[in-house]
Structure 1
Amino acid sequence: MNDDLPGHRIRVRVRIREMTPADCRAVAEIRVGGWQNAYAGLVPQAYLDAMDVDEDAERRRAMLARTDSPVVNLIAERAGEIVGWAAYGPYRDGELRTEDAELYALYVRPGRFGGGVGSALLKACAEECATAGHDRVLLWVLKENGRARRFYEHHGFAADGTEEPFEVDGVEVPEVRYGKALGA
C-alpha cells in the first residue's frame, strides 16, 4: 500500500511464485512471527518465546533440498518484499492416503493482514491443487483460532466435524479439519 497521498491507498499487486533457498530466512521470519502472533494464549508461551528464526530457516533449507518431497512452497511478494508463504501437498493421515490435497501452512507477515496476501496465496494453492487433479483440499486449524477459521470460511472452506488433539510443548491443543471441494 502507498499511504503517501492522504485519503488514498494504492493497492500494490501480490506476486505469487515458488519458494527458493534464498527465501528461507524471510519465510522463517513470517512463520515464527505468525505463530507468535496468532497462537499467543492458545499454545504455551514458553514454546512461542523459544521459537528461533535461524533454526526455522535452516529447517526450510533442508526441506527444499529434498528432491523427493511432494510439498510445494509458494511465496507472496508485494513490491519486492516477501509478505506471505504457503505450503501444500498430498493429504497426510497416518497410513491412509487419499486423493485429497492438504494445505499445510499459510502465513502472512504480521502487520500485513487484510491486504489480500492470504487470499492470493490461498487462491493460488487451490488452483494448483485443482490443476494437479485433486478434487478437494483439506487443512487443519486450531479450534480456538477464530481469525483463521473466519478467513477459511470466508473462502468457502467448512469444518467437516473431524477434530484431533495437536500437542505443543506437552499441551494438547485441539485442531479442527476444514475442507473445500475444488472447482466450487
Structure 2
Amino acid sequence: MSGPGARVRVREMTLADCDRVSLIRVRGWQTAYRGLMPQSHLDAMDPAADAGRRRTLFARAPEGTANLVAEDEAGEVVGWACHGPYRDGELRTADAELYALYVDAERFGAGVGRALLEESARRCESAGHARMLLWVLKGNARARRFYERAGFRPDGAEEPFEVEGVAVPEVRYVRALHD
C-alpha cells in the first residue's frame, strides 16, 4: 500500500498494538524532530522501553481518552493517534485535544494521518466537543502544513518545551468541530 489513494482502516488500539505503536512513535520522533532537538536525545530513544511505558499509559488511560490505530490492507498497523479532553495544566476542559498522531515514515503522504485525524475529530465532535486543540513543535513545518490543510489554525499560544537544555517551543493549533 502506498500513495495518496491507498486505503487504511482505523480501529481502536489494543494492548497487543503497543509494540508496533511504540516503534512508529519512536521512529516518528527520530524522523520528524531531526535537527529540531538534540540528536543525542533522539538516538537514545528505545522502542522497547517506550512499549513498556505505552502499555502502562494505555491501561491507565483516563476516561474520555481514545487510542486509535490505522491498519493497511494487509492488517499492519501503520499509524497511531490519541485524543481526549483538552488539558489545561491539571484541569480537563470541554474542548478536545489531539495528544498524539504518528505515522510510519514509509507511509507519509498515503492518507494514514488524515484518516486518523478525521476519525479523531469525528469522535470528539460526537462526544460533544466544540473544538479540537493540539500542540506541535514550532519548527516542525511538515506537521504544521498537515494540520493547516486539515483546517487547524495557530491561535497564538506557545509553550516552552526543553530537551537536554535546548529550547524546543511548541505552538497550539485549534479547529472548530461544529459548523
Report the CA distance between 1:97 and its aligned residue. 3.6
Q: Distance in 2 between matches of 1:12 and 1:154?
A: 19
Counterparts of 1:44-63 in structure 2, within 5 Å, are 44-63=38-57
Q: How do residues 91-170 of structure 1 correspond to structure 2 at under 5 angstroms?
A: 91-170=86-165
Equivalents in 2 of 1:11, 1:93: separation in Å? 37
Task: State the distance in 2 between where 1:126 and 1:57 align.
Answer: 26
Gaps of 5+ in 1: 3-8
CA shift at 1:98, angstroms? 2.1
2:83 is equivalent to residue 88 of structure 1: yes
Paired amino acid for 2:34: A
AA at the equivalent of 1:146: A
The CA distance in 1 between the partners of 2:83 and 2:132, in whole Å, is 9
- Bigger Rg, structure 1 or 2: 1
Q: Does the 8 A contact of 2:97 with 2:134 survive in 1? A: yes
CA deviation after TM superposition for structure 1 residue 172, in Å: 1.6
Cα separation, 2, equivalents of 1:107 and 1:21: 17
Structure 1 residue 13: deviation in Å? 1.8
Q: Which residue of 2 aligns with 1:27?
A: 21
Distance 1:141 1:17 in 2: 24
**Are the aligned partners of 2:159 and 2:170 in contact in 1 as well (CA < 8 Å)?**
yes
For normalisation by structure 1, the TM-score amounts to 0.92
Question: Structure 1 runs of 4+ off > 3 angstroms?
Answer: 9-12, 67-70
| Partners of 2:91 and 2:155 in 1: CA distance | 17
Aligned-pair Cα RMSD in Å: 1.6
CA–CA distance in 2 between the matches of 1:17 and 1:132? 17
User: What stretches of structure 2 of length at least 5 have no aligned partner?
Assistant: none
State whether structure 2 residue 169 is matched by structure 1 residue 177: no
How big is the shift at 1:170? Answer: 2.4
The farther-off stretch of 73-82 and 87-96 is: 87-96
Q: Does the 8 A contact of 2:4 with 2:109 survive in 1? A: no
Over 3 Å counting, the alpha-carbon distance change for 1:60 and 1:95 in structure 2 is: closer
Between the two proteins, the alignment pairs up a number of residues equal to 178
Q: Which TM-score applies when normalising by structure 2?
A: 0.94
Sequence identity, in percent? Answer: 64
Instruction: For residue 116 of structure 1, report the CA deviation from its aligned partner.
Output: 0.4
Structure 2 match to 1:5: none
Q: Which has the higher contact order (CA 8 A, sep 6+)?
A: 2
